[in-house]
Structures are given as structure tokens and as C-alpha cells.
Amino acid sequence: MYLAPPNPEIRLRKLVDERENLIGQVKKLKAQVEQKKPRNGTEGPSPEGELLENGTDPHIQDLQRDASRQLSDLKYKLVKSEQEVTALEQNVTRLGVQVTRYKSVSENAEKVEDELKAEKRKLQRELRSALDKIDELESNNSHLSKRLDKMKANRTTARLPNDDLPA
């Protein structure tokens, strides 16, 4: 079963929202990392009471690794989102060109349709005129045929009495 792709504008909005969300997360994580950095340089027990090893708290190292991993994931998602936004923008541009082309074709088709309608009306008028002329000529022909028949009949009746006379 084929599902139509969602509206490009909706996808674009979602990607922009996701991008902004990811940028916000990146900033938040950077701020957290910056807050943790001053604590890493201090000696003494960490907030949890663990001892520092080589000047760093293991818990902070884990947090830094997690933050770094999240940061790289978010950067990857950001790049991917930007690529998708670019692709969608190109798609919107392409579809805009298609709309313009289809609109032009539609306008031309409507123009041709109007011309064909006008020509059809003209031909129908000519047809009605020709049919009226045919009816008139048939009526005239019928009238002339009747006159010819009458003339033949009159001629025949005019000859009969002459033929009856002895010669």
C-alpha cells in the first residue's frame, strides 16, 4: 500500500523545530560542561564524596563522556536535519516551477478551449443556415414539381380532345 509523503511544508517545519530543539540541547550541555570544568581542576572530594584520581572525579569523567557523546549525536542530527531542510527547500523550488508550468499549460488549454467553443458556435450557425437553405430549396423544388405535374396534366388533357377528332 502506497502512502503519500507528508506535506513538504509540514516536514520542513518539524525539521526546523527539531533543529532548534537540538541546538538548545547542545547549548545546555555545553553550559553543563563549562560548569563542571572549574570543579575538575579543584582538588578534594567530589560532591558525592569520591576521591579524585589524577585530578579528576570518575563521575565527572562519565558525565563528560556522556555529554560529549550526546553533543556529537546532536551535531550529527543537526547536520542531517540541515541536509534534509536543504533537500526539502530544493523540492519546494522544483514543485514551484512545476506549478508555474502547469498553470501556464492550463491557461493555454483554457484559451484553446474558448477558441474551439467560438468556432463550434460559428459552425453551428452555418449548419443551421445551410439546413434552412436546404429546407427552402426542397420546398421550392416541391412547388416546382407540382407545377410541372399540373402543366403536364393540362397538356395531356389539352391533347386528348384533339386526338378524339377524326382526321
**Mean local confidence (pLDDT), 127-142:** 97
* Nearest C-alpha neighbor of 52 from the set 42, 62, 38: 42
In this prediction, residue 162 carries a pLDDT of: 54
**Mean local confidence (pLDDT), 29-46:** 68
Model confidence at 56: pLDDT above 70? no
Q: What residues contact 60, with CB distance under 8 A and at least 6 apart? A: 36, 39, 40, 46
**Mean local confidence (pLDDT), 40-48:** 48
Q: CA 137, CA 130: separation in Å to the nearest integer?
A: 10
Q: Which of 24-28, 95-99, 112-116, 158-162 has the lowest mean pLDDT?
A: 158-162
In this prediction, residue 4 carries a pLDDT of: 55
For the chain, the average pLDDT equals 84
C-beta of residue 8 within 8 angstroms of C-beta of residue 91? yes
C-beta of residue 89 within 8 angstroms of C-beta of residue 11? no
Model confidence at 49: pLDDT above 50? no
Top pLDDT among 148 and 38 is at 148
Model confidence at 11: pLDDT above 50? yes
In this prediction, residue 165 carries a pLDDT of: 52
Structure confidence by residue, pLDDT tens digits, 88-105: 999 999 999 999 999 999
- pLDDT-based confidence at residue 146 (cuts at 50, 70, 90): very high
H or E element, residue 92: helix 58-164
